[in-house]
Structures are given as structure tokens and as C-alpha cells.
Amino acid sequence: MSKSSMGRRSFLKKSALMGGTAGAASLIAAPAVLAQAPKVIKMQTSWPSSNIWQEMAQDYADRVNAMSGGRLQVDVLPAGAVVAAFQVLDAVNDGLIDAAHSVPVYWYGKNKAASLFGTGPVFGGSAETMMNWFYEGGGKALYDELTQDIMGLDVDGYMGFPMYAQPFGWFKEPVTTVAELEGFKYRTVGLAADLMAKLGMSVAQLPGGEIVPAMERGVIDAFEFNNPSSDRDFGAQDVAKNYLLSSYHQASESFEFLFNGLMMEDMEPDLKAILIHGVEAASTANKAKAARRYSADLKYLEEEAGVTVTRTSTEILDAQLAAWDELIPELEADPFMKKCLDSQRAWVEQVSYYELMNAPDYALAFERYFPGKLSM
């Protein structure tokens, strides 16, 4: 038997024989360890408290709190609680908040490349395709290069919940042609603003909570945000009655979970893993919640709120792709953006080829069992 084994065995034997005050002390000390206060992580979102996305951020917090056995407590705050909706990146970097729940396009004004991590050109891949690129196609490394090396930020970010493609949006009158879009004052964000400008629209970039008031004041006369539930929560149906689904302006977006870099470095390894992999758990939960709520709220908008729901015309969709064709060479003048776009194209060509070739025509099956519903 080795000396180390003998030493360990002797220690265990002595420990077993110890009683009285030593044993009592250990019993008294144990509850004190268990009763340690959890590490509180202050996470602010970019969403109003009434928005479904605030619920989705809370879904993340609930899972992290549960998986950590009470050692972590994520406190979720709405937009404006500490900083404005578009300022969470700086707040995380500066340590004003520990984490944020947002989207990269909200810091597009700092670096246009932010839009490539959710609202960039659509090469034929869905939001799920592009979130897969982030984790399996080199996207995370490029994201870290942008945020940490190019921008010099002390942040660590992860993508979660591949969103359904965003509707073209809300209009006061039906819109079917590109000519009808000329001069529209339209709300969107990120590279979608550049895209819509090429279609003749005048674009305002506003946080979600400012959209309906701007519509009421005439600051804008058409807008998009993201989905039927958020749009209903904002009261979109009270200021417009024509809702156009389907668009290429933001068809591949995911949430961004941002963490302060210093906090993550100091975090115990198992708790750090819970924070990171909690994004994956929340992503699944968010997708399921969105499927139920978005579809139910679309039904409400159409059947009870008097909203006319249609698909965006093929003419406008073709024009959006043509506008991307114009915009992409301008973006590629920046070497980093070209590197990102080259990576995304290669990923989409490989992965979406398989996805599209393999996918059955779901619309054909839907029409068979629910005839007439898709004839919009």
C-alpha cells in the first residue's frame, strides 16, 4: 500500500473516531454552508415588461435558478430599468448590469457587422440555419472577434431561440407593389433599414415601446416589429389593419444573451456552464411558447380584431432580394463583414441544400387536411 493511500486511510479512520465537539461542530457548520446567499445576476432586457419576450427572458432565469440549486439567482429587469433598450451592450461591458437579453441589431449603430448575427442577407437559410452557423459553422468565433477584438468589449455573447421570420409589417392600406412603398415612413432596425431605403422607403429605427406612439403621431406610417404576440401587445391592431406576413428583411434572427466578461471569468466552472447551457434550454422553451402564442394571437388579430392578414406579394419579395444584391457588395467593402458573409454563404450552401432537398412540401399536406386556409 502506498504512503498516500495509508495517509488517506489513517485520516479517514481518525475522522470516524472523532466525536463530541468536533462532530457537533461539523453538524452545526453544515447548515451555514447550505444557507449561503445565492449569487445574484442582474439581467436587463430590451423589452417592455408587458412583452412576451420579457416572459422568454424569465424562462431563461427560471431554468438557471433551478439548475443551480439556488446558488444563482437571475433577476430579470425590463427595458429602462437601468438603461434604455438600445444601451444594454454598453451597460454589460461597463458592469452596470451583469447580463442582457436583447438582439445584436440593437447595437448596429456601433458596428454594422452586428446585423450579420441575425438580420443580414438571406441566402436561403432560416433563423435555425443561421443559429446553427453560430454554434457549428464558425459564427461564435467571428462574433467574439467583432465584440472583443475589433470593438474591444469585455462581453461574452450567445445566441438563443431562432425566431420565426418577421412579418413585413403593418400598413394602413393594402400594399402589393413596390411602387406603393415609395416614400413610406417605415420603422425597422439594422441592415433592414438600408434594405428598405433601397425600396424607396424612409426609415426610422425605434425601440419596440415607441412604435405605436410614433404611428399615432404620424412620425411613421408603417412598421414592423417581430411577431403577432408582440405586435398585439403593443396595440398594433389599433393603429393599422393590414398585416403582411413573410419578408426577407429579418428572416434569420435569434435572441442575444450577453454576459459581462469579468463576471464570467470569476464564475465557478459549474455555474458558468449553467449560464451558458441555460441558453440552450431556454431556446427550446422559447420556441415552444412562440409556436403556441404567436399562432393564437394571429388568430385573434384576424378573427376578433378585424385585421386583414395576407402574405407579402412576390413582387415585393423579389424586390427585397434584388435590394440585398445591391447591398451585399457595399457591405463586403469591409474585410470583416466579407469574412462573415463568406462564412455564412458557405454554411447555407451546404446545410440548406440538405434541408431543402430533404424537406417534404408541408404546405401540400396542410392544404390536404385544411383546404382553403392558405389561399390568401
The beta strands (E) that lie in 200-323 are given as 202-204, 222-223, 242-245, 254-260, 308-311
Task: Please determine, for residue 352, whether its predicted confidence score (pLDDT) is greater than 60.
Answer: yes
Predicted pLDDT of residue 27: 45
Predicted pLDDT of residue 157: 98
Task: Please determine, for residue 25, whether its predicted confidence score (pLDDT) is greater than 50.
Answer: no
Record: fold of 169-250+297-331: D-Maltodextrin-Binding Protein; domain 2 (3.40.190)
3-state secondary structure of 32: helix
Question: Which residue reads 471569468 in cell numbers?
Answer: 265
Task: Please determine, for residue 33, whether its predicted confidence score (pLDDT) is greater than 80.
Answer: no
CA-nearest of 54, 105, 42, 52 to 79 is: 54
- Give the chain's end-to-end CA distance (angstroms, integer): 81
Give the model confidence (pLDDT) of 183-223 as tens digits.
989 998 889 989 999 999 988 888 777 888 998 998 998 99
Q: How far is CA 211 from CA 61, 159, 170, 176, 231, in A?
A: 27, 25, 11, 23, 10
Q: Which three cell numbers stand for residue 57?
A: 427572458
CA distance 167 to 165: 7
Task: Please determine, for residue 30, whether its predicted confidence score (pLDDT) is greater than 90.
Answer: no
Amino acid identity, position 128: E
Q: Which three cell numbers stand for residue 24?
A: 457537533
CA-nearest of 121, 137, 215 to 129 is: 137
Give the model confidence (pLDDT) of 270-288 as tens digits.
999 999 999 999 999 999 9
Q: Out of 3.40.640.10, 3.30.70.1150, 3.40.50.300, 3.40.190.170, select the CATH number for domain 34-163+252-286.
A: 3.40.190.170
Query: Mean pLDDT in the chain?
Result: 90
CB distance 65 to 73 below 8 Å: yes
Predicted pLDDT of residue 13: 41
DSSP states along 174-202: ---SSGGGTT-EEE--THHHHHHHHTT-E
Give the residue extent of every domain in the chain.
Answer: 34-163+252-286, 169-250+297-331
Predicted pLDDT of residue 29: 52
Task: Please determine, for residue 75, whether its predicted confidence score (pLDDT) is greater than 80.
Answer: yes
Q: Which three cell numbers stand for residue 90?
A: 454598453
CA distance 36 to 31: 9
Count Cβ atoms below 10 Å from residue 258 Cβ, excluding itself: 27
34-163+252-286 and 169-250+297-331 in the same fold: yes
| Alpha-carbon torsion, ordered 315, 130, 210, 89, to 10 deg | -150
